[in-house]
Structure 1
Amino acid sequence: MTFHSSVNTDEPATRLPNPDMPVHDARKLTGDDGTTALIVLDDKTYTLRITRAGKLILTK
């Protein structure tokens, strides 16, 4: 995957991800539902939710 940045003198520069870091599309993670996904870390389950405003919320 290639990342491109645009230069806008009115806004601070955006940090690009580390090219060795995995990238996951939140919309693909939420599947058919399109708004929520469960994420498991060790023995805990978290809910990833995409809001109507397009923001991500991760809750335990």
Structure 2
Amino acid sequence: MEKGFYRNCGMRLTRVISGINVDGSLNGDYCIACYMDGKFTQNGQVIDDRSMSDSMK
């Protein structure tokens, strides 16, 4: 896996904590704390796109 950081939280890239896509495959762009089952999470809770955009204002 390439060296760098996850896009959302800035944690160092590692396969062990990669996020999980809907199909169960690993997502190397986001960590498991930020992305689970193909959806973004916040504090362990899945958030929808509207919540995500509201928090970025």
**TM-score when scaled to structure 1?**
0.26
**Bigger-Rg structure (1/2):** 1
- Looking at secondary structure, tell me which structure has more helix per residue: 2
Structure possessing the higher relative contact order (Cα contacts under 8 Å, 6 or more residues apart): 2
**TM-score when scaled to structure 2?**
0.27
